[in-house]
Structure 1
Amino acid sequence: MDSSNQEIAYDFSPFFIVYKDSRVVQLKGNVTVPPSLDPKTNVESKDIVYLNTENIDLSARVYIPESTHQNKKLPLLVYFHGGCFCMESAFSPTYHNYLNSLVAEAGVIAVSVEYRQAPENPVPCPHNDSWTALKWVTSHFNGQGPEDWLNRHADFERVFLAGDSAGANIAHHMGIKHGLEKLESSFINVTGIILCQPYFLGEEAVGDEITNDHHKNLREKLQGLWRFTCPSSTSGCDDPWINPAFDSNLVSLGCNKVLVFVAEKDFLRARGLYYTEKLKESGWRGDVQIVESKGEDHIFHLINPTSETAEAMLKRIVSFINKD
């Protein structure tokens, strides 16, 4: 092989490497699993296509508890996976297993969204795809959509948006867009948004980004990654896509309540705390709650979902969804 083909242009390990011949090699999140009836949770899943054009074919995975009665309505959870907008998949073993557990514990019907990713499809493409998926999901509000599970079981008066890391960023922006544009007018009620260790950044350091040298190094790496995944931005890490504090529409977040999870050792902890403060200061009239997991790091609940802290986090999400 020509040695020039092995020359690295950008090294964003452990996420991906870009070579000078424009090849992009993903280092994580490449393995996928099919939908199934999960024997541990008795949750059934299937894949649906939410966008099909000549050049684009995008899918999502729908989950439902097997014990659901024929016409019983369940809260609807729309989930967006993480991965810095450039890796992972709604169909990976990590997310498939997590959604099975979450659906079983919360007693919800869930849609886990697959979206196109950077660098081939830079931000805001992941957000645009997610909005397309969300509009497809909520088009079932009158029971006349193409997916029978959603027609029969989704309660569109109890809709929740959720995600981890970059997926939490997307969930936040879906809430903003709903607040501005409204999904199916008054027929859809986005009750709450769940943000698990959200992926937000900023040009100026906040909190322990200032004092923690390890976090400072990670922050610099993520700033470089952000500029690579959103090359059209003219404001760097103060772009509203990555820094909600610079979004004049923050007050328009279209839900009644928000639950933010941060982890004590996570380099994004300071940003989660900062987001909560700015949301309160914006004039938004909902209720925002923050939960910190002591001794844990980024996406610990996906890496070790059976740990005591991860199980406590899952119970907190279930309570948030099912509390009147």
Structure 2
Amino acid sequence: MDSQNPEVALDLSPFLVVYKDGRIERLIGTEIIPPSQDTNTNVQSKDASYSQEANLSCRLYLPNNTNPGQKLPLLVYFHGGDFCVETAFSPTYHNYLNNLVKEANIIVVSVDYRRAPEHHIPIPYEDSWTALKWVVSHANGDGPEEWLNRHANFGKVFFAGDSAGANITHQMAMRYGLDKLHGIVLAGIVLIHPYFWGEEPIGNEVNEPEDSAIMHAFWHFASPATSSCDDPLINPVADPNFRSLRCKRVLVFVAGEDFLRDRGWYYYENLRMNGWGGTIEIVEAEGEEHVFHLKNPTCKNAVAMLKDIVSFLHQD
């Protein structure tokens, strides 16, 4: 085989290609940028290690005009990318979170986690949980990161993410309740175009067998040891503990032209109707595609989404 044209083992374009020699070529989400003093938003950022053992870091964001000792709502953000592409340090997420911090006046911890196929599920969840425990280590004001010690309001914490990151957000909220993560109060979660799935098609999935097959393939690629697409990690409604979600409020965003749209509605309807007891809202952007707000952050629907998130974070 010509070394200039290695044989493809699995083509998951436009995300990545796996070659038979073991090499993995990520086609998107490979660019990274350093933390900054962003003059456009007046937001500062820096990176901090949350696991020296696994060499994992997160990116923190803080408004420049924060007063000494001022406490701000804390948002822990999990990036998307089908569990296999993108990072917390990409321009896409760096710019998005700069704008969110500016508009919401909050402090953010953006979590970077290891990705498939080098690190199959459940590693992304375990890394995210490790990051949360690192965040909580600051709750008494004596953690390793001064921004969190000085400025994080641990009585008003939110988890959020898009796509696979929204999936992680839900799972971290479930684990927060089941494993009794003491030291913080989880006020709510924000799920943007959540990457959920299931064995049996629902809604418009019936009419799109090829897209459904791709969704199945991606999940089994990221989680080869999974039982099926009714694994509670990808189908939270199948989780017997689903109604035990331990937060008061949930905000779900879906996009009208997103193949995952019906899964977002399915999550909303089942959580709302199963005796959970909290408040859940859902917002649909008609005519928009998956994670459109990251691709076109200045469009009308993206601006409206940002305002909805800001309002959610500041509700009493």
TM exceeds 0.5? yes
Q: TM-score, normalised by structure 2?
A: 0.98
Report the CA distance between 1:295 and its aligned residue: 1.1
Q: Which amino acid aligns with 2:104?
A: A
Secondary structure at the residue paired with 2:234? coil
Q: Which amino acid aligns with 2:141?
A: G
Distance 1:4 1:179 in 2: 51
- Deviation track 1:190-232 (CA, whole Å, cap 9, x = no partner) reads 0000000000011111111123x3xx32221121011011001
Q: Which amino acid aligns with 2:198?
A: G
Query: Displaced runs of 4+ in structure 1, greater than 6 A?
Result: none
Q: TM-score, normalised by structure 1?
A: 0.95
State the match for 1:87 in structure 2.
85
> Which consecutive residues of structure 2, in runs of 5 or more, have no partner in the other structure?
none
Secondary structure at the residue paired with 2:229? helix
Secondary structure at the residue paired with 1:237? coil
State the match for 2:16 in structure 1.
16
Secondary structure at the residue paired with 1:238? coil
State the match for 2:2 in structure 1.
2
Return 168-177 or 248-257, whichever deviates more.
248-257
- Deviation track 1:51-79 (CA, whole Å, cap 9, x = no partner) reads 012xx200000000000001100000000
Does residue 209 of the first structure (1) align with residue 213 of the second (2)?
A: no
Over the aligned positions, Cα root-mean-square deviation in angstroms equals 1.2
What percentage of residue pairs aligned between the two structures are identical? Answer: 58
Report the CA distance between 1:281 and its aligned residue: 3.3
Does residue 266 of the first structure (1) align with residue 266 of the second (2)?
A: no
State the match for 1:309 in structure 2.
301
State the match for 1:170 in structure 2.
168
Q: Which amino acid aligns with 2:278?
A: G
State the match for 2:125 in structure 1.
127
Report the CA distance between 1:182 and its aligned residue: 1.8
Distance 2:9 2:241 in 1: 36
Contact 1:5/1:21 (<8 A) preserved: no
Q: Which amino acid aligns with 1:197?
A: H
Mapping 1:1-324, distance limit 5 Å? 2=2, 6-53=6-53, 56-184=54-182, 187-211=183-207, 213=208, 216-234=209-227, 236-324=228-316
Distance 1:206 1:249 in 2: 22
With over 3 angstroms needed to count, the CA separation of the structure-2 counterparts of 1:311 and 1:179, relative to structure 1, is same
Secondary structure at the residue paired with 1:210? helix
Contact 1:5/1:20 (<8 A) preserved: no
> Which consecutive residues of structure 1, in runs of 5 or more, have no partner in the other structure?
none
Secondary structure at the residue paired with 2:178? helix
